[in-house]
Amino acid sequence: MRKSLFLCFSLWLLLAAGCVTVNVYFPEAAAQQAADRFIDSVIDAQDAAPAKPASSTSPRRDPPAPTARPPAAMLLELLVPSAQAAQTPDLTLETPATRAIHARMRERFAHDLAPLLDGGVVGLTRDGLVALRDADGLDPAARARAEAVIAAENRDREALYREIAQANGHPEWEAQIRVTFARSWIEHARPGWYHQDAAGRWQR
């Protein structure tokens, strides 16, 4: 009789697990932190020093022994093992593709993009890209070089947002990642740089 009750309860758990809907929300806080770190390392001329592991002088303690759980609870964990974790996912930023993009953007910023931003020729757009803002003082050759820098930078930025979304298994996050990076680019703008407001107007 007891075995029959357990089998019935197990069947009920299976049916209940089939009705579980796991909502994976965009990890906005993690995305903001990742964007800040990425942009800092592109704009900053010096690499950040690696963090040192924290040391502790407290005596080592053995982890507590796991407490026994009812079989029903263990079965439910097997059926829905990551529902809670999936609701607050981390954000993966490090991939071979993003590292290559980062290297190109860092090099481009130091030699080509920073002077254009400092001079007001190029500005940061509201959608996470860069655009030609004022080319009146440029001769045709200088304008062509500026446009080439802008095109290369925007290709890498587009690829970066897409790669981060795909690396995390959620291509639908690309638009939200772009918004997060756009906000962070503007927040990290140096004094005198132009950027677009929500209406697309240039301002400093």
Element holding 131 (H helix, E strand): strand 130-132
**pLDDT attached to residue 67:** 52
User: Domain for residue 178, yes or no?
Assistant: yes
User: Domain for residue 6, yes or no?
Assistant: no
User: Domain for residue 50, yes or no?
Assistant: no
Full residue range of the structural domain in which residue 149 is found: 96-203
Name the pTM for this structure.
0.70
User: Domain for residue 28, yes or no?
Assistant: no
User: Domain for residue 47, yes or no?
Assistant: no
**pLDDT attached to residue 92:** 83
Q: What is the number of structural domains in the chain?
A: 1
Element holding 2 (H helix, E strand): helix 2-18
User: Domain for residue 8, yes or no?
Assistant: no
Question: What would the mean pLDDT of 154-183 be, rounded to a whole number?
Answer: 97
**pLDDT attached to residue 1:** 55
Bigger pLDDT: 119 vs 66 = 119
User: Domain for residue 144, yes or no?
Assistant: yes
Residues whose CB falls within 8 Å of the CB of residue 117, separated by 6 or more in sequence, listed in order:
123, 124, 130, 189, 190, 193, 194
User: Domain for residue 80, yes or no?
Assistant: no
Sign of CA dihedral 185, 189, 194, 196: positive
Site of tokens 């005198």: 192
